[in-house]
Amino acid sequence: MSLLRRNWLWLLALVVLLAFPFLFYDWAKGRHSGFALTLMSEIGVMAIFALSFNMLMGQAGLLSFGHAVLFGLGAYCAAHVVNLVKAGTIWLPTELVPLAGGLGGLFFGFVLGWLATKQRATAFAMITMGLGELVSAAALMFMGFFGGEGGITIDRVMDTSLLGVRYTSPWQVYCLVLAWAFIAAALMRLQTQTPLGRMANAARDNFERAQFVGYDPRRIRWIQFTLAGFFAGIGGGLYVLIYEIVTFDTVSAAKSANALLAVYIGGTGAFFGPILGTIVVVLLQSGVSLLSNAWLLYVGVLFIVMVMYAPIGLVGLIGLHAPIWRAGRLRELLLPYLRALPPALMVLLGFVLLVELTSFTTIGAAQGKHFAIAGRTIDTTSPLPWGIALVALGLGALWLRREARAFRLRWDALMEDAKRQAGAS
């Protein structure tokens, strides 16, 4: 029972995630939305990937520019294993395919880690970048293992399932992804509480001191890197099951960058930060890109805003509220937040409108697209929409500044009280 009480959050998350796809369920046709399921499966995979990236960045202070190499190589290994299973050469239950990917990631993490973990900080980052470039180039050149441009395709429908499921529908795959995501996340969470996990923290904080308590920081980095490879490989294995294909872009720098962005946006401060970041990044990339041509610009602006004003990430921002919450006065922030909302929306609206207008005037017009809001086509050459955008942006900014100042005062006061209260108790 205590186990249940301690882990209620995990269980709640599992229930919510299982229920969530039904929001998109097409009752008329009686089928799930493949798009929503694939997107959510993608989030699951990327969450594992981001968490494993955080084993390096958050836990060990190692910034890798080539983490996708481990993810992708794991995926290739898993794909080859599936094909061997299909051919009857070996036997492996479908459910354990991600494990094959994990072992592949483990192996390559060990080998490449030998090189990369000789250094730390910037040198480590540059080595991983170099390895990333080399592997992604090799992925196109060597047909045998990588299958060239076309990649390796598999058929996930096998007769070796332990549960008797054939994984024909995205829903079944989603459940498998969910299961593995929970297992992997739980394992990674537990790993932070092991001697290695703790010493990785120690070496991150002060690698020299770690030496003087008997540890070889390089060995710590290497093992940590190898383990991160294992989990990234599990992600890769799941990727193969979702898309039934693995191509060179799984090892590419863009994929590595995604993990970095997800972890940074989410925040390294708490274990769940990377998961939150992943959700934001995937939705931005797969969701917004469907709707707006200028999605890259939004991504850029989002990052700059985050880096400048909230380098602690989303969980960090949430975490800031903890003292006030503990003092039981979170409710008093509600009003200031609500007051800040309209000007913030106004700024956002003005900005988005401006970007979209520009984007449609140049690129969109060239593509023969029309800028439409709620079905009404907007004439991007008339001054009205531009005026609205500019006014919204300008007035919103001024208003927001005022509200922000008021918010700040309230916040500081609450923080002060909360601190005093905590000090008194």
Partner 1 sequence: MEVFVVSLLNGLVYGMLLFMLASGLTLILSMMGVLNFAHASAYMLGAYFAYTISLYVGFWPALIVAPVLCGLVGAAIEMWGLRRVHRHGHIAELLFTFGVALIIEKAVQMTWGLLPVPYRVPELLDFPLFRIYGTQFPAYRAFMLLISALMFGAIWLGLTRTRVGLVIQAALTHPDMASALGHNVPRIFTLVFAAGTALAGLAGVIGGNYQVTEPAMAFTMGPIVFVVVVFGGLGSLTGCFIASILMGLIQTFAVVFDVSLADLLAKFGITVTASTPFAEILTVTLPRIGALLPFLMMVLILVFRPRGLMGTRDT
Partner 2 sequence: MRARSGISILLGLVLAIAGMGGASAQQTIKVAYTDPLSGPFAQVGDANLKQMQYIIDFINAKGGALGKKFELVPFDNKSQPSDALIALKSATDQNMPFIMQCSGSNIAAALIDGVNKHNDRNPDNRIIYLNCGAVAPELTNEQCSFWHFRFDLHAAMKAEVMVRALPKETTKVYLINQDYLFGQSVQRELRTYLAKLRPDVQIVGDELIPLGKIKDFSPYITKIKASGAQALMTGNWGPDMNLLIKAGIDAGADLRYYTFYAHLAGGPTAIGAGGDGRVLSVMSFGENVAPELGNKEAEEFTKGFRDKHKFDFSAAGYRTIFEYLQAAVNKAGAVDATKIAFALEGMTIRDFLGFETTMRKDDHQLISEYFVGSFKKGVKYDAENTGLGWATAATVLAKDVDQPNTCKMKRPR
Partner 3 sequence: MSAPAIELRDVRKSFGPTEIIRGVNLAIPRGERHAVIGPNGAGKTTLFNLISGRFPISSGTITVNGKSTAGLPPQEINRLGLSRSFQITSIFPRMTVFENIRCGLLWSRGYRYSFWHLLGGQKALNAEVDRLLDRLKLGDRRNVQAGLLSYAEQRALEIGITIAGGADIILLDEPTAGMSHSETDAAVELIRGVSEGKTLLMVEHDMSVVFGLADRISVLVYGEVIASDTPAAIRGNAAVQEAYLGTIAA
Chain residues binding partner 1 by CB under 8 A are 57, 63, 115, 118-119, 121-123, 125-127, 129-131, 133-134, 137, 141-144, 253, 257, 260-261, 264, 294, 296-297, 299-304, 306-308, 311, 358-359, 362-363, 366
Closest CA to 132 of 149, 144, 115: 115
> How many residues touch partner 2 (CB under 8 A)?
68
Q: What is the DSSP string of 307-367?
A: HHH-TTHHHHHHHHTHHHHHTT-GGGGHHHHHHHHHHHHHHHHHHHHHHHHHHIIIIIHHH
Q: Which does 216 bind (CB under 5 to 8 A by kind): partner 3, partner 2, partner 1, none?
A: partner 3
User: What phi, psi does 401 have (nearest 5°)?
Assistant: -60, -40
295 contributes a contact to partner 2 by CB under 8 A: yes
Element (H, E) at 82: helix 67-86
> Which stretch, 1-9, 76-84, 109-117, 359-367, contacts partner 2 (CB under 8 A)?
359-367
94/117 with CB nearer partner 1: 117
Which of 83, 161, 201, 293 is close enough to bind partner 2 by CB under 8 A? 293
Q: What residues from 219 to 238 belong to the interface with partner 3 (CB under 8 A)?
A: 219-220, 223, 227
**Residue 12 binds to partner 2 (criterion: CB under 8 A):** no
Output the smallest distance, CB 237 to partner 2, in A: 14
> Which candidate, 302, 282, 244, places its Cα nearest to that of 36?
282
Structure-token pair, residue 395: 């007035």
Provide, rounded to whole angstroms, the least separation between the CB of residue 134 and partner 1: 5
**Is 372 an interacting residue with respect to partner 2 (CB under 8 A)?**
yes
CA 332 to chain centre: 32
Per the structure block, which two tokens stand in for 151?
């990649």
Interacting residue with partner 2 among 245, 312, 340, 397 (CB under 8 A) = 245
DSSP per residue, 95-146: GGHHHHHHHHHHHHHHHHHHHHTTS-HHHHHHHHHHHHHHHHHHHHH-HHHH
- First-to-final CA distance of the chain: 30
The interface region with partner 2, picked from 61-69, 77-85, 249-257, 304-312 by CB under 8 A, is 249-257
Q: 248 or 264, CB closer to partner 3?
A: 264
d(CA 251, CA 132): 7
At closest approach, how far in Å is the CB of 130 from partner 1? Answer: 4
Phi, psi of 377 (to 5 degrees): -75, 135
Residue 386 C-beta: closest distance to partner 2, Å: 15
β-strand 152-153 against 245-246: which pairing, if any? antiparallel
Cβ neighbours, 10 Å, residue 338: 10
Among residues 38 and 201, whose Cβ is nearest to partner 3? 201
- Residue of 108, 40, 42 whose CA lies nearest to 71: 108
122 binds, among partner 2, partner 1, partner 3, none (CB under 5 to 8 A by kind): partner 1
- Window contacting partner 2 (CB under 8 A); options: 101-109, 178-186, 294-302, 403-411: 294-302
Identify which range of 59-67, 115-123, 168-176, 187-195 contacts partner 2 by CB under 8 A. 168-176
> Contact between 296 and partner 2 (CB under 8 A)?
yes
For partner 3, which residue of 2, 5, 27, 208 counts as binding (CB under 8 A)? 208
Cα–Cα dist 283/266, whole Å: 13
The tally of CA atoms less than 13 A away on the side-chain side of residue 24 is 14
Nearer to partner 3, 31 or 209 (CB): 209
Q: Which is nearer to partner 2, 322 or 341 (CB)?
A: 341
**What sign for the dihedral angle of Cα 361, 363, 364, 365?**
positive
Residues of this chain that interact with partner 3 (CB under 8 A) are 190-191, 193-199, 201-202, 204-206, 208-216, 219-220, 223, 227
Residues of this chain that interact with partner 2 (CB under 8 A) are 23-24, 26, 29, 31, 33-39, 42, 137, 140-141, 143, 148-151, 153, 155, 168-170, 239, 243-245, 247-250, 254, 283, 285-296, 298, 345, 348-349, 352-353, 356, 363-364, 366-375, 377
